[in-house]
Amino acid sequence: MIKTYFYNHEDNCMYHDVDLLNCSHLLNSSANLLWIDIYDCSESELQYIGDIFNFHPLALEDCLQEEESPRAKIDKYEGYHFFVFHALKYFEEAEEEDEISSIELDVFLGPNYIVTIHPIALSAVGKVARISLKDTQLMSRGPEYLLYKIVDNIVDDTFPIIDRLGVRIDDLEDNIFLIKGREITEEILTLKRTLILLRRVLIPQRHIFANISGRYSFFVNSDNVPYYLDLADNLNNILDTVNTYRDLVNSSTEIYYSVLSGRTSEIITLLTIISIIMMPLTVITGFFGMNVQLPGENHPRAASFILLGMSTLFLSMLGFFRYRKWI
């Protein structure tokens, strides 16, 4: 599906669903801005847009490929830049798949046009589109500001995910001493996978917007520079939080296995003590249970004496273990 949004600087108006065959006329002024948003597109639709703007075949090929390992990037071509970003989709109750996944967003940024391509509808893009349907406040500031708003919405959508992960890590730390077994192990592994994906998505995106020697890897109007600085700062804050969460999960993992090891040691100690206590009692009962003539077996209180001796031995061994603080 292809949607178009056109800002005409001369009459300061927004137009929608414009005819792309008239694209050269729409972009005859550098102050105009054309935004083409494509999602769930076919190869033919993508090639149609590529022919209009003469996009490089390698960039179009990147738009069609599904990467297993998400990584943001920026490529410079003659007359435009090609970006790859990733939005995050979080579904905590997922059972058959990972609870967090990435959705690729490809962007072609030209001097007075921007093309966004994504496989499914993205809320970050939809928010900008809804505003652009009503007025010119976003598109009148140039293509790099429109790009900033889209990426800023992607970053803003990450904050609730970070907050929820923080709550889950707090619960994990509380439950380590209360819950044991498979449930804690699965939660630890799930959190680790989620944090790894977050770092894999966010670190390359931060590099794109990092301020290197006062310059950006693509042109940004001086009026829009503060917005990109704020965007880079938000990415840094999120990554700092993710790194902190990673350390907390690693620490929780070490504590959990220490607790598990301690519980196992207690169980082994208890079973060992029971075995040691039962060994002499087993020898005594086995001895007097032999089918041979034994001294004193005809005494009327023989069984009572044997039981008394066994009880005395049991209590003596139990008292010795407590004295040594083994139990």
**Side chain identity at residue 5, one-letter code:** Y
Instruction: Please report which helix (H) or strand (E) contains residue 5, including its range.
Output: strand 2-8
What's the CATH number where 239 sits?
Answer: 3.30.460.20
280 within a domain of the structure (yes/no) = no
pLDDT value at 317 more than 90: no
CA distances from 279 to 272, 274, 317, 326, 327 (A): 11, 9, 11, 18, 18
Alpha-carbon distance of 279 to 175, in angstroms, equals: 39
- Whether residues 308 and 250 share a domain: the answer is no
| pLDDT value for 145 | 92
Shared-domain flag, residues 315 and 236? no
- Report if residue 273 sits inside a domain: no
Taking only Cα atoms into account, the Rg of the chain, rounded to an integer number of angstroms, comes to: 35
Same domain, 149 and 249: yes
Q: 315 and 238: one domain?
A: no
Mean pLDDT of 173-200: 84
* Domain C-terminal end among 260, 277, 302: 260
pLDDT, greater one: 282 or 108: 108
In a domain, 271, yes or no: no
pLDDT band of 296, cuts 50, 70, 90: low
Identify the residue with better confidence: 260 or 154: 154
Is 285 a member of any domain? Answer: no
Task: Label residue 180 by pLDDT band (50, 70, 90).
Answer: low
User: Do 224 and 314 sit in the same domain of this protein?
Assistant: no
Picking from 260, 282, 301, the residue at the C-terminal end of a domain is: 260
Domain boundary among 260, 282, 315: 260
Same structural domain, 79 and 194: yes
Domain identity same for 255 and 304: no
Q: Are residues 175 and 324 in the same domain?
A: no
Percent of the chain with pLDDT over 70: 91
> Residue 165 domain-assigned?
yes
Q: What is the DSSP string of 144-191?
A: HHHHHHHHHHHHHTHHHHHHHHHHHHHHHHHHTTT--SHHHHHHHHHH
- Tokens at 305, concatenated: 């004496």
What tokens appear for 65 in the block?
A: 């490929």
* 164 occurs within a structural domain: yes
Residues whose CB is less than 8 angstroms from the CB of residue 20 and which lie 6 or more positions away in sequence, other chains included: 4, 36, 49, 52
Which is higher by pLDDT, 302 or 65?
A: 65
pLDDT digits (tens, 9 = 90+) for 2-59: 898 998 888 888 888 888 888 888 888 888 999 999 988 888 888 999 998 999 999 9
**What H or E segment, with its residue span, contains residue 78?**
none
Q: Does 282 reside within a domain?
A: no
Residues 298 and 245 in one domain: no
What pLDDT shows up at residue 253?
87
Mean pLDDT, residues 101-118 taken together: 92
Q: Which two structure tokens, joined as six digits, stand for 182? A: 């498979």
Residue 116 DSSP class: E
pTM (2 d.p.): 0.79
Its domain, for residue 302, covers: 291-327
Q: How confident is the model at residue 210 (pLDDT cuts 50, 70, 90)?
A: confident
Output DSSP code: residue 93: T
Same domain, 253 and 295: no
16 inside domain: yes
* E strands in 48-158: 73-77, 80-90, 100-109, 113-118
CA atoms within a 13 Å half-sphere pointing along the CA-CB vector of 22: 7
Number of structural domains (the chain) is 2
Do 126 and 247 belong together in one domain? yes
| Block residue for tokens 């005859």 | 28
Q: How confident is the model at residue 213 (pLDDT cuts 50, 70, 90)?
A: very low
Query: Could you tell me if 321 and 236 lie in one domain?
Result: no
CA–CA distances in Å: residue 42 to residues 49, 116, 119, 179: 11, 14, 10, 50
Find which of 35-39, 178-182, 299-303 is predicted with most confidence, using mean pLDDT: 35-39
How does the average pLDDT of the chain come out, rounded?
A: 85
